[in-house]
């Protein structure tokens, strides 16, 4: 597999533009969230289906022929909703395999888009194996949740937009599961400098829950390896092993990988709701949790951008927390 180039990401941006939202930025005083630095929030939780995932799903389906058997995927929920949404928009059949415990906030979106939903297994890997068997049996196009070049290029358009709209950013914090989003964003920022400082690269920082440390452990070991899956954000960030393609990009272009406890993620959700009335799912709030918990401390003068990447959770739980 080949990591996406800048040209791949630019082509993906043009390809998917008619089908996705260019999500807004929110520049804000960090004091509103209990922080001492100004922040730039990339509000990808406002993307169609409530997460960044349609970018990769559309790019995959628009880049390769889709057979009569349609498309198939495995997902903890957000990617499945995106594949179902993209397939419906493009006129394809879709089947989605999800773990049994996938929240209804996500499976309801999948079924609302007309996809056939299969609940199987206790974790993503079991659903992935079943989806790959379905693809081999039927000839359906497999749309992987994070480990295909077209997926990384699609997710990399988040980085392209952020670079265009916030050229002053010096650090970008990204929540990581299987590595599709961090790989795409890091591929875009590779060798690109911050505005007014062209020789200094923008640092891309990976943020994972302590219970789902797939990229963190892989970077420490020097290669992907099985990692624990558990905790508050496991439904969106709970990859058993980081994807080979995302890891290949991350080992060269991700400055560091930090871990945050579930308590910090829950606190970040509460702060986003209290200050901004934004409902972020645990995985969507994880990147902010690196700042609010002190897991990542920006250097003096940093201009930090945070990707708030998903909103598929029960709003009542966030509002009452």
CA proximity to 180, closest of 245, 86, 257:
245
Tally of CB atoms within 10 A around 297: 10
The domain boundary, picked from 117, 142, 167, lies at: 142
Mean pLDDT to the nearest integer, 223-252: 93
Confidence band (pLDDT; 50, 70, 90) for 191? Answer: low
**Residue 169 domain boundaries:** 6-52+152-320
Pick 58 or 314 by higher pLDDT: 58
Last residue of a domain, one of 123, 142, 161: 142
Q: Looking at the structure, tell me whether residues 63 and 40 fall in a common domain.
A: no
Do residue 252 and residue 312 come from a single domain?
A: yes
Are residues 63 and 48 both part of a single domain?
no
In a domain, 275, yes or no: yes
Residue 96 lies in a domain: yes
Q: Are 181 and 286 part of one and the same domain?
A: yes
Last residue of a domain, one of 83, 115, 142: 142
Q: What is the mean pLDDT of residues 49-56?
A: 97
Number of structural domains in the chain: 2
Mean pLDDT of the chain: 93
Q: Are residues 31 and 167 in the same domain?
A: yes
Backbone angles phi, psi at 165, to 5 degrees: -90, -20
pLDDT at 271: 97
When pLDDT is cut at 50, 70 and 90, the band that residue 124 belongs to is confident
Q: Are residues 234 and 246 in the same domain?
A: yes
| Residue 1 placed within a domain | no
| Same-domain check for residues 175 and 75 | no
Per the domain annotation, does 107 fall within a domain? yes
Whether residues 188 and 311 share a domain: the answer is yes
Higher pLDDT, 122 or 133: 133
pTM value? 0.95
Phi-psi region of 144 (alpha: psi -120 to 50; beta: other; left: phi over 0): beta
CATH number for position 80: 3.40.50.1100
pLDDT bin (cut points 50, 70, 90) of residue 196 is very low
Q: Is residue 138 in some structural domain? A: yes
Whether 261 is in a domain gets the answer: yes
Q: Give the separation between CA 166 and CA 8, rounded to whole angstroms.
A: 21
pLDDT of res. 201: 83
Same domain, 23 and 67: no
Specify if 192 maps to a domain.
yes
- Complete DSSP assignment for 68-81: TT-EEEE-SSHHHH
Q: Is residue 315 scored above 90 in pLDDT?
A: no
Residue 40 β-bridge partners: 27, 305
Q: State whether 198 and 311 are in the same domain.
A: yes
Between CA 110 and CA 121 the distance in angstroms is 18
The verdict on 88 and 119 lying in the same domain is: yes
Residue 162, domain member (yes or no): yes
Tens digit of each residue's pLDDT (9 = 90 or more) over 257-307:
999 999 999 999 999 999 999 999 999 999 999 999 999 999 999 999 999
60-76: pLDDT as tens digits: 999 999 999 999 999 88
Instruction: Please report, rounded to a whole number, the percentage of residues in the chain having pLDDT higher than 70.
Output: 96
| Confidence label for 199 from pLDDT (cuts 50, 70 and 90) | very low
Asked if residue 117 and residue 193 are part of one domain, the reply reads no
Q: Are 71 and 174 in contact (CB under 8 A)?
A: no
């Amino acid at each position: 597999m080949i990591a996406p180039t800048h040209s791949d990401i630019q082509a993906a941006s043009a390809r998917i533009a008619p089908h996705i939202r260019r999500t807004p930025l929110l520049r804000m005083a960090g004091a509103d969230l209990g922080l001492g630095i100004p922040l730039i929030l990339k509000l990808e939780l406002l993307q169609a289906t409530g997460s960044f995932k349609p970018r990769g799903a559309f790019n995959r389906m628009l880049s390769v022929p889709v057979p009569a058997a349609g498309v198939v995927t495995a997902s903890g929920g957000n990617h499945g909703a995106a594949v179902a949404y993209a397939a419906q928009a493009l006129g394809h059949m879709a089947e989605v395999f999800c773990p049994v415990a996938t929240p209804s906030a996500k499976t309801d979106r999948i079924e609302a888009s007309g996809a056939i939903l299969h609940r199987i297994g206790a974790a993503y890997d079991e659903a992935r194996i079943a989806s790959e068997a379905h693809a081999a049996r039927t000839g359906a196009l497999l749309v992987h949740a994070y480990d295909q070049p077209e997926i990384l290029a699609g997710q990399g358009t988040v980085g392209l937009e952020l670079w265009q709209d916030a050229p002053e950013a010096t650090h970008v914090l990204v929540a990581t599961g299987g590595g599709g989003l961090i790989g795409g964003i890091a591929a875009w920022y590779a060798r690109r400098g911050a505005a007014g400082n062209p020789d200094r690269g923008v640092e891309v920082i990976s943020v994972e829950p302590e219970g789902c440390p797939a990229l963190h452990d892989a970077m420490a070991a020097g290669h992907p390896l099985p990692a624990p899956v558990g905790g508050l954000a496991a439904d969106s960030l709970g990859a058993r092993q980081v994807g080979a393609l995302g890891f290949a990009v991350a080992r060269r272009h991700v400055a560091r990988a930090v871990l945050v406890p579930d308590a910090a993620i829950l606190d970040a959700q509460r702060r986003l709701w209290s200050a901004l009335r934004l409902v972020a799912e645990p995985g969507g709030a994880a990147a902010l949790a690196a700042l609010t918990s002190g897991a990542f401390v920006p250097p003096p003068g940093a201009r930090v951008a945070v990707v708030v990447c998903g909103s598929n959770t029960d709003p009542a739980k966030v509002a009452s927390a």
